[in-house]
Amino acid sequence: MSATNPISAPSSVFSQYYALMKPRVIQLIVFCALIGMVLAVPRVPTMSELWLAVVACVGIWLVSGAAAAFNCLIEQHIDAKMRRTAWRPTAKGELSTRQALAFSMVLCGLGSAILYVWVNPLTMWLTFATFVGYAVVYTVVLKPLTPQNIVIGGASGAMPPVLGWAAMTGQVGPEALMLFLIIFLWTPPHFWALALYRVEDYRQSGLPMLPVTHGSRFTRLQILLYTFVLAAACLLPFAYGMSGWLYAAVALVLSIGFIGYAWALWRNYSDGLSRKTFRFSLIHLSVLFAAFLIDHYVRVWF
């Protein structure tokens, strides 16, 4: 998952550390995890279940923040070359390597302990595996190695609803895997839309992003194809009986919108349209999961 960030540098030591956690990205991660928690409880949750959800969100937030901080640490020299990320405290040298590493390890340890002790071991291990997948497998290995980095590495970003489901049930069911699939397929068109209008940044950084290695038109075609497959995945929960007509209607409208943006982008590229496609992708995922939430309680209450 990704999100836009302000260009201005954090002003205080606290805000510098907080910026390492990529708060906008983490907000979306925790939101998707929370949806997984809600959908895992087939009724109005009890007070104990609400407390469990709060504790799980805190643990997931801490470990996700640790992964984001570790990513900033590893990519500090790359971030310094890119306008979108040059403001980050590690890229500007405002926080040292030791400070960033210690911060990441403390967050990871604290979040993992909370999940293990007060949630369940499965959620802790899945969350820790997500940390390793994003901070090490994606950031260290895949991102500088292959233009398919965001496709393979997207598995880590798709884990939040699985973590939420595991937190409430102690297992991973097919419903959680469908939520995983939606985010997994959403990630490439979302991120490649950003990479298209930031292509010179990525070229300068040396990262083999798809628009750099295969060009704009090929990337735009991939975005379009992914939006079609994503549309099918978004309707899968309805076909499975996991969600109702309210969700299905919202998913259909959002899917048509995303395909429309991707089609226009493929036919007639502009940086402005690429930015709009990227922004719509954020709306797509946020509204889709909000529709999951509303649909769930409409079905519970009525």
Domain count, the chain: 2
pLDDT at 7: 43
Task: Give 53-98 pLDDT, tens digit per residue.
Answer: 999 999 999 999 999 999 888 888 777 777 777 778 888 888 888 9
Asked if 39 contacts 296 with a C-beta cutoff of 8 angstroms, the reply is: yes
pLDDT at 79: 75
Q: How far is CA 24 from CA 32, 61, 152, 219, 230, in A?
A: 13, 11, 22, 26, 23
Buried b (16+ CB within 10 A) or exposed e, 263-275: ebbbeebeeebbb
CA dist., res. 129 & res. 135, Å (int): 10
| 147 in the same domain as 18 | yes
* Domain, as residue range, for 106: 1-171
Tell me the residue type at 219: T
| 181 in the same domain as 167 | no
| 212 in the same domain as 127 | no
| 272 in the same domain as 192 | yes
pLDDT at 11: 59
Nearest CA among 24, 16, 143, 138 for reference residue 88? 16
Task: Give 262-288 pLDDT, tens digit per residue.
Answer: 999 999 999 999 999 999 999 999 999
| 222 in the same domain as 121 | no
Q: pLDDT averaged over consecutive 10-residue blocks of the chain (302 residues)?
A: 50 83 89 94 91 97 94 83 78 86 95 97 96 85 80 87 96 95 96 93 84 94 97 97 95 98 96 96 94 91 79
Q: What is the CATH number of the domain that holds 16?
A: 1.10.357.140
Tell me the residue type at 184: F
Last residue of a domain, one of 171, 193, 211: 171
| 215 in the same domain as 114 | no
| 178 in the same domain as 140 | no
Task: Give 68-80 pLDDT, tens digit per residue.
Answer: 999 888 888 777 7
| 100 in the same domain as 38 | yes
Last residue of a domain, one of 171, 202, 228: 171
| 9 in the same domain as 149 | yes
pLDDT at 208: 87
Nearest CA among 142, 160, 159, 161 for reference residue 151? 142
Last residue of a domain, one of 171, 189, 211: 171
Longest dimension (CA), the chain: 55
Nearest CA among 56, 60, 54, 72 for reference residue 26? 60
DSSP-derived 3-state class of residue 7: coil
Inter-axis angle of helices 245-267 and 216-240, to 10 degrees? Answer: 170
| 157 in the same domain as 24 | yes
Contact residues for 155 (Cβ-Cβ < 8 A; gap 6+): 133, 184
pTM of the model: 0.89
| 80 in the same domain as 94 | yes
| 41 in the same domain as 159 | yes
